[in-house]
A and B are shown apart, each in its own frame.
Chain A
Amino acid sequence: MSSVTHFRYEIVRTFRNRIFYAVTLALPLVLFYAVASGQRTATQDGISFPLYFMTAMAVYGAMFAAVSPGARIARDRTGGWTRQVRITPLRARTDIAAKVITAYLIALPSVVLVFLAGVSLGVRLDATQWLELGGLLLAGLTPFVALGILLGYLLRADTLTPVIGGVVVLFALVGGVYGFQLAHSGPLFDVMKAIPSYWLVQAGKTALGGGGWPAQGWIVIAAWTAVLVAAATLAYRRPAARG
């Protein structure tokens, strides 16, 4: 009994879904060039617009990658395969771990491609700053991975697609992913600072300055992760009833 086969086939399944994979990689790149090409000298939120928007688009692609296992979970559940697997000795944690790893395996190339696109439009960071930026993005994705798994175990496949798309777009909007921020002070700004995607988008600025997120950023990411992981665990434990 080994988990290697399960991990391998989980990855194989993801990459055989070519259209999904191609769109996940291409969408942030297309948006990045479409918007940032004309604003290479502009600034946003105190940093160069290309750096801001490169980070934002890396976040955008990575968020879609992070929640993507949810769609597979919902399809397997709706089709009845989940019931089949639950009468085998496969442990839940192995299954979930495989889903988490594939989420990151999709997110990582998407982030790297957007970084390369950023460089092509003049974004310059030193090696430490690139690593810090990449590291913050991957760390800040954890609540979104948990969110995908939660929704996958809660919703049927046909309802999941619009819900998950809507939720990601909402997080993107509030987090400032679309190249503008909804507020710079006041109660709405406080709400933004309680949302993980805000801190993800801020990672560009943070990496430029060095030193990582302030405590509030880490607390927001950790709290969302803890709550969503707990909820996903509960959703997983619901009996796998028919239909």
Chain B
Amino acid sequence: MVHHNAQAGGIVLSRLSKSFGQVRAVRSVDLTVAPGETVALLGPNGAGKSTTIDMMLGLTHPDAGTVSVFGRAPAAAVRAGWVGGMLQTGSLLEHLKAGELVRLMASYYPHPLAVADVLRLTGAAEFADQLTTKLSGGQAQRVRFAAALVGDPDLLVLDEPTAGIDVAGRHEFWQAMRTVAGRGKTVLFATHYLEEADAYADRIVLIARGRIIADGPATEIKARAGARMIRATLPGADLAVLGALPGVVSAERHGEAMLLSCSDADTALRALLGSFPAARDIEVRGGSLEEAFLELTADDDETAHAATADAAAAALGEAR
């Protein structure tokens, strides 16, 4: 059941920043999630997804900026029982059976779902009588999912919920997720699988090196993040001319190498070879999100990197 007015205001992160020593894990992130929306936080490892989630849940205090969960501070929203989550770290509680653990979690919430139903839905019923320490990785993940759901929270936060699960298990997980989350819950999940974000989120937020570099409907982001890159050694070429080639979204210079971010790599490659026959060492890189991020954000020093991140934002388009 959705509690009346509980979801008013959605989730609002405003100018959120967090550093760990020299590492600026999250840099001035602004993000709004509307009530009932399913949003994917997509980015490579170390992008700042988990730190952002920790601040949203009140597990980590931000250095600057604010978080509002349905109009309240994270700690207050958690106390009200509005929040449920699957965190990335997490062995289960020892010396308890899987079913007992889910029942324990249910007891913490004011309006929990029926434990038996949740166990069935998440596929955890078959091993409900086993001790948590005897479960396989996939089974433990189901129990963790059941534990997150059983309180019937308005906001579900899932930090890489399918990490370590095989493809079939991943599919089942999202089937169950849809059944439950379809009932008006606000869902935010972190992932580094583009396909997962595309298939299950209404909206994708791309995050890299602590910054949001794009935010928009899943289809739009997928097209951009999945863009191919052409890399070629081409000393002295004019960036503006390269950027204007058909199929090219943007061009960057890395020493003698040119990096073209393409909406249509085939067309772009033909045009490149036609206009610049001197181009050599040509590589066309495909689709992997991780690679795209690395290309767009890899750089040695901090300042150059910030500039690249901005270029990446330009390349991917600020959809906000």
Which residues in A have some Cβ–Cβ distance to B below 8 Å?
1-6, 9, 12-14, 16-17, 72, 75-76, 79-81, 83-91, 239-243
Given known A-B contacts A13-B93, A84-B147, A242-B54, A5 and B59 have beta carbons under 8 A apart: no
Q: Cβ of B195 < 8 Å from any Cβ of A?
A: no
10 CB-based A-B contacts, threshold 8 Å:
A5-B104, A9-B100, A12-B95, A80-B87, A87-B83, A88-B105, A88-B108, A239-B59, A240-B59, A243-B89
In Å, the complex CA distance between A58 and B157 comes to 48
Q: List 5 additional A-B contacts (Cβ < 8 Å) besides A1-B81, A87-B157, A241-B54.
A: A4-B107, A5-B103, A12-B96, A79-B94, A80-B89
In Å, the complex CA distance between A128 and B110 comes to 46
Chain B residues in 8 Å Cβ range of A81: 90-93
Chain A residue nearest to B103 (CB atoms) is A5
Residues B59 and A80 in contact, CB atoms below 8 Å apart: no
Chain B residues in 8 Å Cβ range of A84: 85, 87, 90, 144, 147
Residues B87 and A89 in contact, CB atoms below 8 Å apart: no
Residue among B89, B100, B151 with the most chain A CB within 10 A? B89
Chain A residue nearest to B61 (CB atoms) is A239
Which residue of B59, B80, B96, B103 is within 8 Å of A13 (Cβ)?
Answer: B96
B227 to chain A, nearest CB (A): 32
Residue-wise, chain B 49-76 has the 8 Å CB interface mask toward A (1 for contact) of 0100010011111000000000000000
Residue among B88, B93, B144 with the most chain A CB within 10 A? B93
| Interface members, chain B 80-122 (any A CB < 8 Å) | 80-81, 83-85, 87-96, 100, 103-110
Given known A-B contacts A87-B59, A241-B54, A6 and B100 have beta carbons under 8 A apart: no
Residues A87 and B85 in contact, CB atoms below 8 Å apart: yes
Given known A-B contacts A86-B59, A87-B59, A6 and B78 have beta carbons under 8 A apart: no
Residues B107 and A241 in contact, CB atoms below 8 Å apart: no
Chain B residues in 8 Å Cβ range of A79: 89-92, 94
Chain B residue nearest to A13 (CB atoms) is B95
Residues B90 and A89 in contact, CB atoms below 8 Å apart: no
B21 to chain A, nearest CB (A): 13
In Å, the complex CA distance between A148 and B151 comes to 31
Residues B81 and A89 in contact, CB atoms below 8 Å apart: yes
A32 to chain B, nearest CB (A): 29
Residues A83 and B87 in contact, CB atoms below 8 Å apart: yes
Chain B residues in 8 Å Cβ range of A88: 78, 81, 83-84, 105, 108-109, 151
Chain B residues in 8 Å Cβ range of A13: 93-96
In Å, the complex CA distance between A84 and B101 comes to 12
Chain A residues in 8 Å Cβ range of B80: 89
In Å, the complex CA distance between A16 and B131 comes to 11
Chain B residue nearest to A241 (CB atoms) is B60
A101 to chain B, nearest CB (A): 16
Given known A-B contacts A88-B151, A89-B108, A242-B50, A83 and B83 have beta carbons under 8 A apart: no
In order of increasing CB-CB distance, the 9 nearest A-B pairs are: A80-B89, A79-B91, A5-B107, A80-B90, A16-B95, A13-B95, A88-B108, A89-B81, A90-B108
Residues B95 and A239 in contact, CB atoms below 8 Å apart: no
Residue among A2, A79, A80, A89 with the most chain B CB within 10 A? A89
In Å, the complex CA distance between A241 and B59 comes to 6
Chain B residue nearest to A1 (CB atoms) is B110
Chain B residues in 8 Å Cβ range of A80: 87, 89-91
In Å, the complex CA distance between A2 and B151 comes to 13
In Å, the complex CA distance between A83 and B78 comes to 12
Residue-wise, chain B 155-171 has the 8 Å CB interface mask toward A (1 for contact) of 00100000000000000
